[in-house]
Amino acid sequence: MTRENAYLTDKQIKTLKDCLLADKERIINNDNFKNPEQGHLAKDELMDPLDEASINIQVANDLRFRNRENFYLKKINKSLRKIDEGTLGICEDCGAEITFERLMARPTAELCINCKEEAEMNEKHNLKRSKSLGKTLMEIGTR
Ligand SMILES: [Zn+2]
């Protein structure tokens, strides 16, 4: 079997795998993630039962949290698969080798730092656009 990510040592790969498995464990064992219904009940008890708005916000937050964890869990599984395939740390965009330091900070990294920065710049650009739109709407509202 060919090892494409030979630039990572076995020890480095094992370290990354341990990180990924630990994160996976943490998500799977999170009560809120595991038993969303029970999580809601326990939290709702602490709240004013009449305050439906805040309950809805709580439910929305829990849902957002679960979606985010679910998303991350998928990324973890994908990275674990990459370890088996020997392609972990290979940028999906340009095929460059992602540094071990970057992988340690973010074991699910799919892009090298250059491609990531490019992607983030595009993201920021979009965010700025929608923010200035919000500001414009607010200015119209205060007139
Ligand atoms: Zn790249």
Measured in angstroms, how far is the CA atom of residue 22 from the centroid of ligand 1?
26
Query: Helix, strand or coil for residue 90?
Result: strand
pLDDT given at position 120: 93
Query: Helix, strand or coil for residue 97?
Result: strand
Q: What is the tens place of the pLDDT at every residue in 59-79? A: 899 899 999 999 999 999 999
Measured in angstroms, how far is the CA atom of residue 143 from the centroid of ligand 1?
47
Measured in angstroms, how far is the CA atom of residue 15 from the centroid of ligand 1?
22
Q: Compute the mean pLDDT over every residue in the chain, rounded to the nearest whole number.
A: 83
Q: Residue type for 100, please? A: F
Measured in angstroms, how far is the CA atom of residue 116 from the centroid of ligand 1?
7
pTM of the model: 0.69
Measured in angstroms, how far is the CA atom of residue 21 from the centroid of ligand 1?
25
Measured in angstroms, how far is the CA atom of residue 123 from the centroid of ligand 1?
16
Check pLDDT > 60 for residue 8: yes
pLDDT given at position 24: 96
pLDDT given at position 124: 87
Measured in angstroms, how far is the CA atom of residue 77 from the centroid of ligand 1?
21
Distance CA 102, CA 84 (A): 20
Measured in angstroms, how far is the CA atom of residue 16 from the centroid of ligand 1?
19
DSSP state of 48: -
Q: Which of 67, 79, 60 is nearest to 18 (CA)?
A: 79
Measured in angstroms, how far is the CA atom of residue 83 from the centroid of ligand 1?
18
Q: What is the tens place of the pLDDT at every residue in 81-135? A: 999 999 999 999 999 999 999 999 999 999 999 999 999 999 888 876 666 655 5
Residue with tokens 């709240």: 47
Q: Which homologous superfamily does the CATH classification assign to the domain defined by 10-111? A: DksA, coiled-coil domain (1.20.120.910)
Structure tokens at 134: 């919000």
Structure tokens at 122: 């595009």
Measured in angstroms, how far is the CA atom of residue 5 from the centroid of ligand 1?
15
Distance CA 120, CA 125 (A): 8
pLDDT given at position 3: 46
Higher pLDDT, 48 or 32: 32
**How do the domains of the chain map onto residue ranges?**
10-111, 112-143
Query: Helix, strand or coil for residue 57?
Result: helix
